[in-house]
Structure 1
Amino acid sequence: MTYQIDADGSVQLGNAVVPVPRTVSAEAQTFLATPPWAEPPVPDAERLPMWALRPFVDEQMKLGGEAALQQYPVEVQEIEIAGVRCHLVKPHDIPEENKGLTLMNLHGGGFVMGSGSLIEAIPVAHQAKVAVVAVDYRLAPEHPYPAAVDDAVAVYRSMLDHHRPDQIGIYGSSAGGFLTGQTIMRLEREGLPLPACCGIFTAGGDLSDLGDTAKIFTLMGFWGDLILPTDHEISEIRAYLGGADPKTPEVSPIHGDLSRFPPTLLMSGTRDAVLSATASFHRALRRAGAEADLFVFEAMPHAHWYMTHLPEAQEAIEVMSDYFLRHLRSKR
């Protein structure tokens, strides 16, 4: 879908006009009125599968991580856990009450990109003053489902050798958020103790249907193209599934028993293509009796906390960090 976007960021929708809202920060107003990404140096990039743009997108993620590191200084060390490449992201100073606490981050990137991305781990490690293990899980289409879940579970199982489950939280954005839900379902199936909490950010629990907003907004609000239908030949979700049934509970937790799901924070924005999926999963968790909180930001697109210069991103990082600490410290 192509929208007409004026120089001031106003969006023309037929006879209606959607202006940049004045209810967001000045920085966010500028952000919403500006094309968000550099153009890939590839002709006809919009006709290529996302994994064909992996080197370009991974470089953008790397630059974002470097910018985050300047704003949120931490220590970063490449490590291997259970045969899986990871990064240990640690604050320079860990307060006594946070020692022993840890988070596991599953990065975003549409299941096909983002290898080594630290743009989610760095800010939270700094803000929460807690060590974060960022898992560099295997990517589709070379390694379709359940490879990424296998990697996440292997890392978590190893973490249990050094931490109690109530000292661990798991979180991720976008594809990493969906993976977080899938990991919880696998842990439960294998009889492993569940973590103290999790964060499912700009993601849901149903890969078979992303809902209403995926047909209205792009990942960047009104900029760019809509998410491809799952049955499209170059859909990254289709590549990730690799033939797996998206309506099984381990792939789409919304179709399973959520009553034992750990306390979960969900987060999105009103211009996020995945808002519907996020909201639907929040309702499903609440219906099942699980503790779940939903935080939605005005006019923000998909994973706006990647743009760490925005006050709305900084607030999101604070909300995430406060939530994790509240649940990780509750058993101390």
Structure 2
Amino acid sequence: MAYQIDKDGSVRLGEGRVPVPGGVSAEARTFLATPPWAEAPDPDAERLPMWALRGFVDEQMKMIGDAALQRYPVDVEEIEIAGVRCHLVRPREIPSENQGLTLMNLHGGGFVMGSGSLVEAIPIAHQAKIPVIAVDYRLAPEHPYPAAVDDAVAVYRTMLDYHRPDQIGIYGSSAGGFLTGQTIMRLEKEGMPLPACCGVFTAGGDLGDLGDTANIFTLMGFWGDLILPVDHEISEIRAYLGGADPRDPAVSPIHGDLSRFPPALLMSGTRDAVLSATAGFHRALRRAGAEAELYVFEAMPHAHWYTFHLPEAQEAIGIMGDFFLRWLRGARN
């Protein structure tokens, strides 16, 4: 079923109309009435695998990152940790109570794009007043699973040389959110100390089944084209898995023991194709006895916190920063 977006941000599905809810900000209404990305340079983009558009999307992400630097002034330094390219994103001021605390960010991009993206690291470093290590992990299809997890674990292992595990948090959006869960499962399997907390944003714990919203949105073509199921021939998830079993708990943590999973913040929106995956993982964590919080923003699409001027984005970034600070400063005590 084809959809179209009206000038007021409402969505038309055939003869039906889905209005923007009344509680959404004026800025969000304008945003919802605008296509989420600039027009792709290739007219056949919809039939190309996501990684074929890597250069175009990475350019868009760099523009968003530059805008983030204007709004959230921080210092950025390219570094190498354990042979992995990273960026150290440091706030201009670090309060005494935040000394020694740090975060690792695993960027989004469908596992196949996003190299060097700092759109998640910059706002959080500024908001929480904590340094963030943004990991430029290897991408599929050139480097399928477990390459990205290997890189994240290598960086984390080196961070442990300088920080206690209870001083470290790991987070990511979209693919980075899935990678966050996979990294934690690998750390657990290898007997390494787990971080104090984590953020799984617009992501879940099951790469083999993204749930109801992904199927519905894909059928409608309504922002669902951001996610292609694993059985699709040009699926970015399929390219990432590279033959790995999506039911393996190391790949899809929801199939494993989540009882020792660190305190987790999960976040999505009602116009996000990955909402079901996020909500399902939250329930799985709670059933296992893990500490987990879920925030769902009305009418917000995939990773709306990338659109920094929205009040809803600022609220989301504030929630993220507060959550990390609460646990890194010793909420377990």
TM class by shorter chain equals: over 0.9
**Match of residue 208 from structure 2:** 208
Amino acid at match of 1:311: P
**Match of residue 21 from structure 2:** 21
CA RMSD, Structure 1 to Structure 2 (Å): 1.5
- The CA distance in 2 between the partners of 1:102 and 1:7, in whole Å, is 42
**Match of residue 188 from structure 2:** 188
* Helix, strand or coil at the partner of 1:323: helix
Gaps of 5+ in 2: none
What TM-score results when the alignment is normalised by the length of structure 2?
0.97
Amino acid at match of 2:71: Q
Identical positions, percent: 84
Residues 31-67 of structure 1 show CA distances to partners (whole Å, capped at 9, x for unaligned) of 1111121011113111100000000000000000000
Residues 91-113 of structure 1 show CA distances to partners (whole Å, capped at 9, x for unaligned) of 00000000100000000000000
- The CA distance in 1 between the partners of 2:122 and 2:217, in whole Å, is 28
* Helix, strand or coil at the partner of 1:145: coil
* Helix, strand or coil at the partner of 1:199: strand
CA contact (8 A) 1:216 1:226 kept: no
Amino acid at match of 1:206: D
Q: Say if 2:90 is the partner of 1:120.
A: no
Amino acid at match of 1:93: E
Q: Say if 2:92 is the partner of 1:92.
A: yes
- The CA distance in 2 between the partners of 1:179 and 1:308, in whole Å, is 23
Describe how 1:135-150 pairs up with structure 2 within 5 A: 135-150=135-150
CA contact (8 A) 1:84 1:151 kept: yes
Q: Say if 2:292 is the partner of 1:292.
A: yes
**Match of residue 314 from structure 1:** 314
CA contact (8 A) 1:21 1:29 kept: no
* Helix, strand or coil at the partner of 1:163: coil
- The CA distance in 2 between the partners of 1:228 and 1:202, in whole Å, is 15
What TM-score results when the alignment is normalised by the length of structure 1?
0.97
- The CA distance in 1 between the partners of 2:166 and 2:281, in whole Å, is 23
**Match of residue 236 from structure 1:** 236
Residues 69-106 of structure 1 show CA distances to partners (whole Å, capped at 9, x for unaligned) of 00000000000000000000000000000010000000
How many residues align? The count is: 331
- Residues 1:110 and 1:223: Cα distance change in structure 2 (over 3 Å): closer
Q: Say if 2:247 is the partner of 1:254.
A: no
CA contact (8 A) 2:2 2:221 kept: no
Offset of residue 140 of structure 1? 0.1
* Helix, strand or coil at the partner of 2:228: coil
Segments of 4+ in structure 1 off by > 6 A? none
- Residues 1:283 and 1:6: Cα distance change in structure 2 (over 3 Å): same
Amino acid at match of 1:76: V
* Helix, strand or coil at the partner of 1:12: strand
CA contact (8 A) 1:35 1:223 kept: no
* Helix, strand or coil at the partner of 1:166: helix
- The CA distance in 1 between the partners of 2:281 and 2:209, in whole Å, is 12
Offset of residue 4 of structure 1? 2.8
- Residues 1:179 and 1:223: Cα distance change in structure 2 (over 3 Å): closer
- The CA distance in 2 between the partners of 1:249 and 1:270, in whole Å, is 27
Residues 255-291 of structure 1 show CA distances to partners (whole Å, capped at 9, x for unaligned) of 0000000000000001100000000000000000000
**Match of residue 45 from structure 1:** 45
- The CA distance in 2 between the partners of 1:268 and 1:225, in whole Å, is 17
- The CA distance in 1 between the partners of 2:133 and 2:243, in whole Å, is 30
- The CA distance in 2 between the partners of 1:224 and 1:276, in whole Å, is 12
Amino acid at match of 1:25: S
Q: Say if 2:32 is the partner of 1:32.
A: yes
* Helix, strand or coil at the partner of 2:225: coil
Offset of residue 2 of structure 1? 2.3
- The CA distance in 1 between the partners of 2:36 and 2:28, in whole Å, is 11
**Match of residue 326 from structure 2:** 326
Describe how 1:146-161 pairs up with structure 2 within 5 A: 146-161=146-161
- The CA distance in 1 between the partners of 2:170 and 2:88, in whole Å, is 14
Offset of residue 226 of structure 1? 6.0
**Match of residue 57 from structure 1:** 57
CA contact (8 A) 1:221 1:273 kept: no
* Helix, strand or coil at the partner of 2:271: coil
**Match of residue 103 from structure 2:** 103
Gaps of 5+ in 1: none
Offset of residue 232 of structure 1? 1.1
* Helix, strand or coil at the partner of 1:133: strand
**Match of residue 275 from structure 1:** 275
CA contact (8 A) 1:201 1:265 kept: yes
CA contact (8 A) 1:221 1:300 kept: no
